[in-house]
Structure 1
């Protein structure tokens, strides 16, 4: 099978492409569930965490720097989300607390710029989502973070594949 791919001129998948695929597939399903059910199931957040960790280990085989960025970004994001959950439990859910570090690790694997782009874009998308939700419902309903987080990470990773 590998010889067929080589004969056809197929290139091996890059770490960025693998991360984008994992976030796009697992993250999109998680975001959809978050919108419909207002929760992020452990099966989806856990699967995404395992996929990102596995891809991070593959990246480490080439260079240890991506793994270091992954660990730092995931730890800082988990700490920040955990602090928000502790201080304002109604502001963030447990599923978001489990999803955010995986997405942070995925984007940081590529570069700090990719991570920062995803973080900034997620804030913009979340604000837009919360504003639209407020205009539509006019109540203090829980806004799903999943779509904003996944969308921002997907866009940041997608931009990394082109540049």
Structure 2
């Protein structure tokens, strides 16, 4: 199957799923505009298409492709990462790791260390990292470790989080900066080799 056909099929199937997941998990009424709809559908289609060259990466990123954009959009709109998205994402990530043999076991071990560090950061500085971010991080670390990109992924995520904090803080003067979009986009982009 060509990358273009994969992108179209993924966008047609995963895009509406993501939009529905966002709508069902938001506390407020959400009517997506054209730009938000196009961005979500494109992200849902592009990620699997870019990972078609590597079956392991495709399977590893599948849970994140399904639920990550929805979590990122809810975080961007409402400054929260809902358990109804982060819990199934972690479960699916662990399941994919279980079927990956030794690489999956290593990924879970590395994700445990990264998650422990995230908990320490959240406890020491509640302003630095929210608990929703802490619940999302294990899934992201599992995905990055399985594609052997944990360090480059962490670097990309930290860069995107810093950029997000600077842009949101400068433009809106908000105290709460949603890290979810940077976490998800950073992980997916590194996972597919961008």
TM-score band, normalised by the shorter chain?
0.7 to 0.9
Residue 131 of structure 1, aligned match among 143, 162, 166: 166
Residue of structure 2 in register with 1:101 after alignment: 138
TM-superposed deviation, 1:53: 1.0
Residue of structure 2 in register with 1:121 after alignment: 156
Q: Please tell me whether the aligned partners of residues 15 and 58 of structure 1 are also in contact (alpha carbons under 8 angstroms).
A: no
Q: Please tell me whether the aligned partners of residues 30 and 146 of structure 1 are also in contact (alpha carbons under 8 angstroms).
A: yes
Equivalent-residue separation in structure 2 for 1:137 and 1:110 (angstroms): 36
Which consecutive unaligned segments of at least 5 residues does structure 2 have? 1-51
Deviations 1:38-87 (A, max 9, x none): 11111100111111111111211xxx1x1232122211111111111111
Q: How does 1:14-93 map to 2 (within 5 A)?
A: 14-60=55-101, 64=102, 66-93=103-130
Greater Cα radius of gyration, structure 1 or 2: 1
TM-superposed deviation, 1:101: 1.1
Q: Please tell me whether the aligned partners of residues 98 and 105 of structure 2 are also in contact (alpha carbons under 8 angstroms).
A: no
Residue of structure 2 in register with 1:5 after alignment: none
Pairs aligned (count) = 142
Equivalent-residue separation in structure 1 for 2:106 and 2:73 (angstroms): 28
Equivalent-residue separation in structure 2 for 1:69 and 1:142 (angstroms): 34
Equivalent-residue separation in structure 2 for 1:135 and 1:89 (angstroms): 21
TM-superposed deviation, 1:131: 0.7
Which consecutive unaligned segments of at least 5 residues does structure 1 have? 1-10
Equivalent-residue separation in structure 1 for 2:90 and 2:160 (angstroms): 22
Equivalent-residue separation in structure 1 for 2:92 and 2:105 (angstroms): 17
RMSD: 1.7
Q: TM-score, normalised by structure 1?
A: 0.81
Equivalent-residue separation in structure 2 for 1:76 and 1:54 (angstroms): 19
Residue 151 of structure 1, aligned match among 181, 185, 191: 185
Q: TM-score, normalised by structure 2?
A: 0.69
Q: Please tell me whether the aligned partners of residues 75 and 81 of structure 2 are also in contact (alpha carbons under 8 angstroms).
A: yes
